[in-house]
Structure 1
Amino acid sequence: MSSIAPLPPARPAAPGRPKDMEKAGAILEAARRLFTAHGFDGASMDQIAAEAGVSKLTVYSHYGDKDTLFAAVVKSYCEQNLPDSLFESAPDMPIRERLMQVGRVFFAFVSSPEAVAGHRMLCSPRMADSPLPGKFWEAGPARVQRVFADLLRRRANRGELEIEDPTLAARQFLTLLKGELHTRMVLGCCGHCDDPEGHVAASVDFFLRAYAPRDGR
């Protein structure tokens, strides 16, 4: 009887996308830590590469320059902490409860050390004539406004809100949540909110007084 041919040895995993994605994630995490700790100008690409355990060439090959890397950090951090799933309509949930849910997560996000540090960086004179604030806006706040406006639009279509301009209403709600507290955090006048639940509830109730259906539904 002929012997069975042995199986060929398993091939090692080919280098490529998984490894590249792992490096990209390490770079983003290192950049987030260093930008938060040292600011935009204080964090060098050399430091970021060393923190991520990669070469500076690898950092540049993934992100091109420090402005692009900063925008990528903002986008990644926003998507992780304010994912699109947070803004799903959830039609079975009462509208006040839904707004409270969104408000809690959003306020915790804008109060985080990373978010506060990011806003401080953008307030520096160096940023005045830089394209970086525009990149920051598109990478973070603009997306959140769009997806939250969609939530409001869907709820208004169900008759739970009376809103003619969901985009404007989304901006107003998110601005209410940030309020004076966020400005004081960015300026270093206070480090945290003593009553975040009360702050979110007051913002939600104010918003609903403006946009609840006139028939009281």
Structure 2
Amino acid sequence: MTAPQRLTDRKRHAIVQAAITEFRACGFDVASMDKIAATAGVSKRTVYNHFPSKEELFAEILNKLWCGITAQQENTYRSDLPLREQLQQVLLAKLQMLADDNFLDLARVAIAATIHSPERARDMVARLGEREEGLALWIRAAQADGKLKAVDPGFAAQQVQGLLKAFAFWPQVSMGQAALDVDQQTQVIESALDMFLACYQLKP
């Protein structure tokens, strides 16, 4: 890698970090690209060279946040392990992500930014939906192995994640409730597992 490329990477990183601070402090609509550029120590033109719009910059932040939280998660289906054991680990990782303060703060910003802009909302939801494909792939693999019923994997993944978000995302984002403690996380996960497997698991 050449020195100019490393400098470009450093500038991009500085822009993203400055944008995170600005979005969390001001919200999406009020956040200023000028302020982001100044905080990052780059020109406004440099910011736009990396990110053509504020929407693109915010989407990059959400993607980086998600990648950082889920980097160590392993969703690969294994035919030699019980479904419940595997799915339990997947859902636990999901709850840990939902409990991350940075993720919750930026989720609030994203929701506020999309309330008055359905087009923007669809774009952000689509971008985040791409990041949830891992669970759908796991479900598809379990179906191919003859362990789960033939249901749309995307629908089933969204359904089980909705069971988690009802307790570990929406109350925190919309009403400021505290993150779930360990016992509460266990209760939510076990209940979601019971419902999901009772509905979709094929009997041997």
Task: Place the TM-score, normalised by the shorter chain, in its bin.
Answer: 0.7 to 0.9
144 and 61 in structure 1: CA distance in 2 versus 1, 3 angstrom threshold:
closer
C-alpha separation in 2, matches of 1:126 and 1:137:
10
Query: Which of 181, 185, 188 is the matching residue for 1:199?
Result: 188
TM-score by length of 1: 0.80
Query: Which of 139, 150, 157 is the matching residue for 1:152?
Result: 139
90 and 68 in structure 1: CA distance in 2 versus 1, 3 angstrom threshold:
same
1:28 paired residue number: 16
C-alpha separation in 2, matches of 1:93 and 1:51:
49
C-alpha separation in 2, matches of 1:176 and 1:192:
15
TM-score by length of 2: 0.85
1:212 paired residue number: 201
8 Å Cα contact 1:71-1:132 kept in structure 2: no
Figure out how many residues of one structure are paired with residues of the other and give that number.
202
Structure 2: which amino acid aligns with 1:182?
F
Which ranges in structure 2 are unaligned for 5 or more consecutive residues?
Answer: none
C-alpha separation in 2, matches of 1:100 and 1:163:
21
72 and 189 in structure 1: CA distance in 2 versus 1, 3 angstrom threshold:
closer
Which ranges in structure 1 are unaligned for 5 or more consecutive residues?
Answer: 1-12
C-alpha separation in 2, matches of 1:184 and 1:102:
21
Counterpart mapping for 1:119-130 below 5 A? 119-124=107-112, 127-129=115-117
Structure 2: which amino acid aligns with 1:114?
N
* Matching of residue 78 in structure 1 with residue 35 in structure 2: no
C-alpha separation in 1, matches of 2:78 and 2:114:
43
SS for the counterpart of 1:87 is coil
SS for the counterpart of 1:86 is coil
8 Å Cα contact 2:27-2:112 kept in structure 1: no
Deviation of 1:130 (Å): 5.4
8 Å Cα contact 1:71-1:139 kept in structure 2: yes
* Matching of residue 47 in structure 1 with residue 35 in structure 2: yes
197 and 131 in structure 1: CA distance in 2 versus 1, 3 angstrom threshold:
same
What are the superposed Cα offsets for residues 101-124 of structure 1, whole Å, 9 maximum, x if unpaired?
111111221232233233323443
- Please tell me the root mean square deviation across aligned C-alpha atoms, in Å: 2.4
Structure 2: which amino acid aligns with 1:75?
N
34 and 201 in structure 1: CA distance in 2 versus 1, 3 angstrom threshold:
farther
Deviation of 1:97 (Å): 1.6
36 and 99 in structure 1: CA distance in 2 versus 1, 3 angstrom threshold:
farther
C-alpha separation in 2, matches of 1:32 and 1:118:
8
Larger helix fraction of residues: 2
C-alpha separation in 2, matches of 1:80 and 1:137:
19
Query: Which of 68, 93, 108 is the matching residue for 2:56?
Result: 68
What are the superposed Cα offsets for residues 125-156 of structure 1, whole Å, 9 maximum, x if unpaired?
7642253222211221x113333211101012
What are the superposed Cα offsets for residues 138-176 of structure 1, whole Å, 9 maximum, x if unpaired?
221x11333321110101211222232212111111111
8 Å Cα contact 1:173-1:203 kept in structure 2: yes
